[in-house]
Chain A
Amino acid sequence: MIAKLFLSAFVVWLTGAVAALALGRHPAAARRVACGSALVGSLLDLAGSMAAIFAGNSTVIGLPFGNPAFVCAIRIDPLSAFFNMTLGVLAAAVSLYSFGYLREMEGKRNLGAFGFFLNLLLLSLALVFTASNAFFFLVAWEVMTLVAFCLILFEHEKEQTRKAGMLFFIMSHAGTGLLLIAFLVLASASGSLDFSSFHLLASRMPPLQQGAVFLLFLFGFGVKAGLVPVHIWLPDAHPVAPSNVSALMSGIVIKAGIYGMARVFFDFYGQPPLWMGTVVLALGVASALLGVLYALMAHDLKRLLAWHSIENIGIILMGFGAALMFRALGYDNLAALALIAGLYHTFNHATFKGLLFLGAGAVVEATHTRNMEEMGGLIRRMPVTAACFLVGAVAISGLPPLNGFVSEWLTYQALLAGFGTTQSLTRVMFPIAGSLLALTAALAAVCFVKAFAIPFLALPRSDKAAEAREASFPMLAGMTALAAVSVALGLGATWFIPVFDPITQQTLGVRVSAALVTAHGWALSPGTPHGGTISTAGIALFFLLAGAAFALPLALRWRRRSTRGPAWDCGLPGLTADNEYTATAFSKPLRMIFSALYRPSRSIEAEYEVSPYYPSEIHFESKIEHTLEKRFYDPLRERILAAANRMRGIQAGSINVYLAYIFITLILLLLFGVRG
């Protein structure tokens, strides 16, 4: 049953991809086929993964290709099923949205190719999450990377897009290189490429090798996930892709990196040394803080969201890091709590970030700009999009009672419990990480006040924004679906938690959902004896009852006593959009407070005719410096280019020389083989 559902999803995606390519000359048909197959495939994938989670055991499926040396097989265990479920939910909503979103592109762009890549991306993601052998995993990984590259480059006529795509390509392959080495080390230790032979293997290796493999995996997967300091491609690449692709990229493609880490950290490692957990926790905190700090300075709506992906990856990794530390210290129940916090946030982030990117896509399509300073007042022109975006904004800010709050609360509880697990000074890390998580969440709230208020509230800041039209029905349906999932994951947290039982059983050997859910399914607790409780459903119920009993009747009564009037304009002739606070102005205090990090610079040029006090035109430019890029990546790039230049000498262009190279290499390899 499970195997059938998964295989049919794969077949639907593959057929859809080929059919869309074949229908390239009929854009409308290509769009319908591509989105339809993506939707059906995602729903099948979702059904299959839910069935697999409830079954709670592993299903192994051999694929009808490959050869004995390189087996192509997939295994659906609870961890794979969980990531497939995330994929299914997000991809179904995005496919629905794409029905409307792609209509705009009909006749202008090659929708056949787009449909081909879209379906292939979903297929490769599902294969990455289920591949049960290192070779097949890397193949799926590479297909995913290349397809993502093609989708990012879909609007390739823009210089910015090509640059971003190139950076993504290079960084991804550097990451894949690290993974390749790591897998080869594991394979040589186990003598097989099968994942099941890697189970708990890494912990049996000598400490030095163990650590090296760990770091290779961490940074290899970290590149894909957007882990600081290997995140630099992400804020460039995510915004330039079409918005439905951005939603998939930020929602699920970066989660492939998270999946890889979960697989390696909790499946291949048994009891990792303590330092591994501390490294992950520290990098998680760094990613979360830097992500949100740079997001605050971004005024390109999609770039802002991309930076927030880095922040949320950081929050996920804080959960993972704490779980690894608890594992090392021998607290498996706490490790389960922290792992659940990380995985819950993974799912949550897929829903609300997908939702926000879809909302941003609708806004960008309506206003033809990504610059927030040219939007404004869209809540009146696009009420449904605004409402959905608001749900996403509240959720990502970690505010109750939505899903972001639940997973952040679980993370806090894990960090809090961590203090008692060890007597060494390491334990100070937990509360410090907790307080920095608080800072991250609070800054995210600042950022999303900006990201919602500047585009959607007050007066339109440009003609394009004033004439914006609400998105089409399929787009609204896709956004509403994700908003509903966000709300459901928040209010229904206690009903969702048991989903993690098979995963923690598989990876840590414990089931904790019974301890986490208290008060007859109304409240969550950290599972410790007197631990604090939280009831998002209760909070929502309070708001609902209070709203129905007081707010509604009173608001209706007061409405009769209210008039609409102009807002205070300081005595000037009427309020215009020029009076409004801009996104730049809104984030100015933080730009000044964190100026050591941003190193902001600005230039103002005023043109005047008579007196400098009456300028006719003012050019204002404000910039911040991306320290890591400037201090580390720029010199690195120059070094590599210089080295490449020097190596050009051996590339003479004569076939005889190249034959000599091949010959020498062969001899050297033979000598190496004989000695070994």
Chain B
Amino acid sequence: MANVVVFAETRGGTLRKVALEAVTAARALADASGGGEVHAIVAGTPGTASAATQQLGAHGADVVIAVEHAALAQFARESIAATVAERAKQGGYRAVVLGFSTQGRDLGPRLAAKLDAPIAADVTEIAVSGDSLTVKHPGYANKVTLTLTLTGSPVVLSVRPGAFTAKESGKTPRTESAQPALDPSAERVVVKDVVEGAKGRPDLGEAQVIVAGGRGLKAAENFKLVEELADAFGNAAVGATRAVTDDGWRPHSDQIGQTGRQVSPQLYLAVGISGAIQHLAGMRTSKTIVAINKDKDAPIFKVADYGIVGDVLEVVPALTAAVAAAKKGS
């Protein structure tokens, strides 16, 4: 029997989806390790943890540890890493689990170094058998799946957003509170500002539907067709190819591909995207792929479940209208 500690990340005081996925993964790991407990750490301003406790319990946390401080309004990476490491050092933990998000990518290696623990990043599966812990991790920009064995305890695991579906297991957690192990108002890396992106759209990593545009849109102003199609779906995110972000039609943060975001939504609509290897590496694990492109030989059609050959300026508005009508009917 071994316990698992999870860092349940928040932003702006709200629990992120990947936090619930990390708790779900930790629950499964604790159960597979002989029925240990899941201890979830929530860091934020006072009140953050109480708002998150019920949800964390519902997803399998036995204990929610509130680390609250006014200076945790921002991502205090040094303080949070020290606090999670201190808890993990209290012993008995088989693993420290967190999301492979921008926060988790930052914290994971810090924790590994502080705990002198082996780390596996961007994990899509976790298996335990006896003392051996094995994970799957897509390497080579998703082109090769690696199965890794980690020896020692604890280990640090960051889970790929979307890989572990958040599942409720209905616990009512005990609550504890802890002080930050390092003063979060004395960080050596200080957040001066957070610039919010596109208004009211979900993040690319969290959206069920993504509409992405490429150079086939011909001009920056035609990107509004992509926006409108996303609007028709309701809660869809908007992405772009590297060519589009390089040209400044869209911000760099919208880029989907090997050097940008890697996404796997339920539905991915590629609009005016030819399907360069660099782009495919970022979206080929999407569940359903739709492609609209004027060149019938474009490589995107090799991965698209449904392709339409045609001018995006003609097809996309028609699709937008049809999707809006279908949504209205449903």
To the question of whether A and B form a pair in one complex, the answer is no
Interface residues, chain B, with chain A CB atoms under 8 Å away: none
Interface residues, chain A, with chain B CB atoms under 8 Å away: none
